[in-house]
Structure 1
Amino acid sequence: MPETPDWFESGISHIWLPYTQMKTAVPSLPVKSTDGVRLTLADGRQLIDGISSWWAAAHGYNHPHIIEAMKAQIDAMPHAMFGGMVNEPALTLARRLAAMLPGDLNRVFIAESGSVSVEVAMKMALQYYFNRGEKRTKFVHFRGTYHGDTLGTMAVCDPEEGMHGLFGDVLAKNLLTDLPRTAEQAEQFADFLKANAADVAAVITEPLVQGAGGMVFHTNDTLRWLREACDAAGVLLIVDEIFTGFYRTGSRFAIEQAGIVPDMVTLSKALSGGVSPLSACIARDEIFAAFYDDDPMKALMHGPTYMGHALGCAAANASLDLFEREDYAAKVHAIEGQLMAELAPCGFVENVKSVRVKGAIGVVQLHDASGLEKLKPEFVKRGVWVRPFRDIVYLTPPLVIGEDDLSALTHAIRDVLGA
């Protein structure tokens, strides 16, 4: 076992790690630096990152354009409160996001984390109706869905998924159903929504891919059916693009593939290029209009301390520069083709249930996931960072990854599962 650095030995007993049973956990790997698609460990070993730091490092690590923008911003002003004051990076980011998104998604609320952006969208939906004199308190959400770990977002995750099962009795009670995947199911969902519309503020969904719920895909038709059902029932539609936004599924935003305009969209992760906590909730003009009033009680009373974080917004503007300058759709198309070709042989492995690919997402689902934890160190031995969960081994590599590095990831999966 390689020696661990002093900072690891002295600090690990004081940290509380995410999604981890600390008593039985395999020791975490100490990372000392990053570059491109590689993570360098404290002992000098390098791992090709197949996860993009939870899907965020779309441009790879330490991209010079983003780093230079952050250095310039930190010299000028890392942050100033967003209450009664604004800053150029935040307003520029808001203008650019409004221009990028379809329709009249024009009002941008900038926060720090993805979960908070979803909380803000839910709060906007509730107050939208409160301000109109209607008390609607429910959300419709779907099996297999994940939207965050805060109390509000846990209440619109799949309660049977297990991660939040302990909290079922204390969470808000919403309306759980299945995503409509056929025309018949779409009709059933539309009837269900109409029957409950008087109590429902919004439908919330992940577009095209249910990420943390197991990387389960659905079609553009599903998104169109949700939009049509919401319109018919007079219910708002929130689309959570935190995972799918910025070319992960092949287009700039997943909603573009379906040609819909939600009432609110949430963004995070690749928004800042994975270098700074940052998120945004973008609302349509009609939503904003319900808050725009002489009555101060109709204002949206929400304001994170680091809202409009100037340093994070500078990183996000630099990240948008890269998305605009380079052909990321072509990059993802090439990744998709390579994932399809190189993961396909996994389908012949006895324990593999299915292999599926969407954009820069490659998934190998297993029949028996009982030994999943034992796979992680096997990937490290092969010089790659792959982090299986639930019953899947998956790849969401940086969108700038080269063919050889992507092959190293796919071949590692084939080798480990084959063994």
Structure 2
Amino acid sequence: MTDWYEAGQRHVWLPYTQMQTARAPLEVISATGTRLRLADGRELIDGVSSWWSTVHGYRHPHIERAVKRQLETLPHVMLGGLAHEQAYVLARRLAEMLPGDLEHVFFSDSGSVAVEVAMKMAAQYWVNRGRRRMKFLCFRGGYHGDTFATMSVCDPDEGMHSLFKGALLEQLVVDLPRNPEDEAALGRLLERHASDLAGIVIEPLVQGAGGMVFHDPFTLQALRRLADEHDLLLIFDEIFVGLGRLGDAMFACEIAGVDPDIVTLSKALTGGTLPLAATVASKRIYEGFLSDKAQSALMHGPTYMGNALGCAAANASLDLFASEPRLAQARAISEQLLRQLAPAKSLPGVVDVRVRGAIGVIQLDRAAPAEELSAACIAQGIWLRPFRDILYTTPPLVSGEDDVRAIADAMVSAVREWSIRSFS
């Protein structure tokens, strides 16, 4: 045990962790590419990309060089009344990459805050038009963050925030529409409630922390139709899937052929290097705040919004998406996971094995024994963090065949051991 670990362990409050019973966290002293190096000399392949963010691997030299250059000139300056090159270049590039007229970028420093900003934009858009519409349509299985407003649009019963049920902002929570009958039923519901709603909030194509639940483009196309019919704003939370994770395009909205009114981005935006997020609004939304009245402005401004180091990392990350074959790599990972996770389908206690892009999931018939499954994977040199009823992987997009094979083998082996103990 290192000195810093021993001295600081009792003072650090860990995320999503029951501190009384949890296993001590592993001491990471460095990381390169797809590997974490531990203080005891072991190396682990990171199978979750540090919560889905390190898409280019750790310490990519292009990102490192960009951050170092920026550190030597301007590490940070407030965006209130001042401007700097990295933020303005990044905003232009995101506007050029996103479909439709998503061209107005509001920066923040985390995904939760980006969604908070999106909700605030949507609600104030209607206030600025003389209509008070403060609620949102959201979905069972959804997850959008841990801040107070974002907790209110997560799954109220099955999500991580059920303890706060009754204390959060009241929302309209429904199942995802997956077919024309569902769309028609949701349309009838919106006929009664649309006048109270500012918009619809959804994770497009994959509900991440709600259990890695997939849906088809039909769902998003139906929501666009319903939003237009009932004069609602459509918000896509692409913090997980945006920027190449699904392989078919850079953004889920492109895959579905749907232009949202607002989209949120984070995680892979800086390649897992520095905290940065963006809430990107359409021309219609942006112009809804233009006025001679000061109170019509969007009154929000995180201290570190548009941080120059973070924006430099993000610009370098976008360089890599343009110059290196990340989408092709995501598709290759997908094809390999489909083959190599398949043996888990026949194991007792496994109810589903599914893959979408560079996301692979083994779903169990009960709450996953997270500590047990994680320990089994660590013993095979793989870092994975199960939750709910799933063991999943979201490897860095630069992961080669050997890494993906090792991850998939560890997942199947860990679940097989659990299945034998549970059902023999």
- Shorter-chain TM-score: what band? over 0.9
Q: Which residue of 2 aligns with 1:78?
A: 75
Instruction: Say which of 140, 147, 150 aligns to 1:150.
Output: 147
Q: Does residue 211 of the first structure (1) align with residue 205 of the second (2)?
A: no
Q: Where does residue 292 of structure 1 map in the other structure? A: 290
Moved more, 195-204 or 210-219: 195-204
Identity within the alignment, % = 56
Of 43, 47, 52, the match for 1:46: 43
User: What aligned pairs does 1:106-185 form with structure 2 within 5 A after superposition?
Assistant: 106-185=103-182
Q: CA 1:206/1:114 → structure 2, altered by over 3 Å: closer, same or farther?
A: same
Contact kept in structure 1, 2:143 and 2:159, CA below 8 Å? no
Structure-2 residue corresponding to 1:278 = 276
Where in structure 2 are there 5+ consecutive unaligned residues?
418-424
Q: Deviations over 1:378-403 (max 9, x none)?
A: 11111000111000000100000000
Cα offset for 1:180?
Answer: 0.1
**TM-score normalized by structure 2?**
0.97
Q: Give the 3-state SS of the residue equivalent to 2:138 in structure 1.
A: strand
Residue 243 of structure 2, aligned match among 242, 246, 249? 246
Inter-partner Cα distance in structure 2 for 1:170 and 1:144:
19
Q: CA deviation at 1:327?
A: 2.2
Confirm whether residue 382 of structure 1 aligns to residue 383 of structure 2.
no
Letter matched to residue 142 of structure 1: F
Q: Render the CA deviation track for 1:180-229: whole Å, top value 9, x for unaligned.
A: 01110011112212321110001000000000000000000100000000
- The alignment covers a number of residue pairs equal to 416
User: What letter is aligned with 1:247?
Assistant: G
**Which residue matches 2:197?**
200
TM-score, normalising length from structure 1? 0.98
Counterpart of 2:420?
A: none
Is 1:5 matched with 2:2?
yes
Runs in 1 of length 4+ with deviation above 3 angstroms?
A: none
Matches of 1:390 and 1:277, distance apart in 2:
26
Q: CA deviation at 1:326?
A: 1.8
Partners of 2:108 and 2:305 within 8 A in 1 = yes
Counterpart Cα distance in 1 of 2:279 and 2:368: 38
The CA RMSD measured in Å over matched residues stands at 0.8
Offset at 1:169?
A: 2.0
Correspondence for 1:262 among 257, 260, 273? 260
Give the secondary structure class of the aligned counterpart of 2:72.
helix
Give the one of 325, 344, 347 matched to 2:345.
347
Q: 1:287 to 1:274 in 2, by over 3 A?
A: same
Contact 2:370/2:385 (<8 A) preserved: no
Corresponding residue number in structure 1 for 2:422: none
Kept in 2: contact 1:203–1:235 (CA 8 A)? yes
Range with greater deviation from structure 2 (249-258 or 126-135): 249-258
- The whole-number CA distance in structure 1 between the counterparts of 2:370 and 2:133 is 42
**d(CA) in 2 for partners of 1:200 and 1:351?**
41
